Amino acid sequence: MGAVAQGRLNVGLLLAALVWTASASAQTELNFSRLGGVVRIVNTDMAVLESAEKRNDLPCEVFPLKPELAFDLRFHAGYRVSIPLKDLAGTGDQLRVLIRITPLDQGDNQSYMVDRFTVPPIEEDAKGEASLPGGYTLGPGRYKVDWLMRDRAERVCSSHWEMEARLTADNKDLPLTMPPNTVGPRPQEPFGEQPPVERASSDRLLNVKILVNFSPTNPRESTMKPWDIEAIVSILRSIAREPQIGRFTVVAFNMQEERVIYREDNVERIDFPALGEAVGAIKLGTVDYRKLQDPLSGARFLTAVLSEQLGPQRPEPDAIIITGPKLMLEKKVSQDVLKEAGRASCPIFYLNYNFNPRTNPWRDAIGTALKAYKGLEYTITLPRDLGAALSDMMFRMSKK
């Protein structure tokens, strides 16, 4: 390998290491409530945050990321900072980012967060740049961000900007999961622990069963795309956050292995880490040869799952909710078999996640099968689709 190619490879590895470390690093949300609400920040850092002047002792360029509504029905925003590798040269370093976010309409409701990045050893003549990401979540509102980065040598880079998290006319009635003028930490890992939910003060909370399909849309693909998994888990979290729902039964299945990969019954709180372990245990990249040779294999498995999970059951839930990416099979599920097995008398809903409906506008295998159950299907492409579907489902369940 030539010297130029080797140099490019080394830079690539350094960039990968920095980005990986950044994504894996923990974010700390500073909580001053235990100190009587008095903010305790090092004077030198506070002076940088209070100053409108940009500091560039540590050469960097900060790119603010505009707030975008995500499937967890809260706004995601953040930053990306670019630093020349030559300015990080040495035996290793630690970069600390301090962020202050102030709602412009509630100036006393400030939030402080710290991101830390570990820099690996970098050669003096390294070329290229390191790109470090950071993020946070927001409720609707206008905000000011004061941002600084400091290294071990006390060099500082700082930046300041304003942003607005705003609902459009199309989604102004969405049931957002963060109130206005509030700030939260960056989005958690897809299968991180679900924070406690304040349930409705009702004598009878709803009990729902949720079927989750963790399978790629194309039956000949062996893995789901990471963004599809994130979307499905966000949909599941949104259901879990509904204050009128008090108990959950979760059944997750995978079409490539044709098995139920996870189940928990009648729980008050979904165990997302355990679900994540089950999804991670799916044998990636392998499809049983015998199943490829049998075009009816997938249809038979799906028929068995739907017959059991959507059929008559005791005790019966208040609703059954199915979610997952659009599922295309070579052969259709038998309507006659499903009708013969019978159906639960509770409402059945299908939240069908379709990342690109223009390229795949056809009804999928589960949507077609729901004809036998008189189920109601919602196509979920954008966050506003999920918000509208949740509102409609909860209205129908409350009228049951």
Provide the CATH number for the domain around residue 76: 2.60.40.10
* pTM for this model (two decimals): 0.74
233 and 136 both lie in a single domain:
no
- Residue 269 located in a structural domain: yes
Question: Is pLDDT larger for residue 304 or for residue 190?
Answer: 304
64 and 170 both lie in a single domain:
yes
User: What pLDDT score was predicted for residue 278?
Assistant: 94
340 and 256 both lie in a single domain:
yes
How many angstroms separate the first and last alpha carbons of the chain?
A: 70
**Domain count along the chain:** 2
Q: Where residue 145 falls among pLDDT bands split at 50, 70, 90?
A: very high
Domain hosting residue 362, numbered range:
206-398
Whether the pLDDT of residue 10 is over 60: the answer is no
Tokens of 116: 């830390």
- Residue 133 located in a structural domain: yes
Grouping H, G, I as helix, E, B as strand and the rest as coil, residue 152 is coil
Distance CA 286, CA 269 (A): 32
Question: Is pLDDT larger for residue 14 or for residue 287?
Answer: 287
- Residue 11 located in a structural domain: no
User: What pLDDT score was predicted for residue 202?
Assistant: 72
211 and 180 both lie in a single domain:
no
Torsions phi, psi for 138 (to 5 deg): -140, 150
Q: Kind of pairing, strands 156-165 and 141-150?
A: antiparallel
Percent of the chain with pLDDT over 90: 48
246 and 104 both lie in a single domain:
no
- Residue 191 located in a structural domain: no
CA atoms 39, 44, 45, 49: torsion sign: positive
Torsions phi, psi for 398 (to 5 deg): -70, -25
Whether the pLDDT of residue 1 is over 50: the answer is no
Tokens of 393: 């489902």
265 and 179 both lie in a single domain:
no
Torsions phi, psi for 45 (to 5 deg): -70, -45
Q: Helices in the chain by DSSP H: which ranges?
A: 3-24, 43-50, 226-240, 272-280, 289-293, 297-310, 335-341, 365-369, 383-398
The CATH number assigned to the domain holding 276 equals 3.40.50
- Residue 148 located in a structural domain: yes
Q: Where residue 220 falls among pLDDT bands split at 50, 70, 90?
A: low
Of 279, 307, 278, 291, which is closest to residue 373 (Cα–Cα)? 307
101 and 229 both lie in a single domain:
no
**Least confident window among 35-39, 103-107, 299-303, 341-345:** 35-39
392 and 248 both lie in a single domain:
yes
Question: Is pLDDT larger for residue 284 or for residue 372?
Answer: 372
The string over 335-363, giving b where at least 16 C-beta atoms fall within 10 Å of a residue's C-beta and e elsewhere, is eebbeebebbebbbbbbbbbeeeeeeeee
User: What pLDDT score was predicted for residue 17?
Assistant: 41
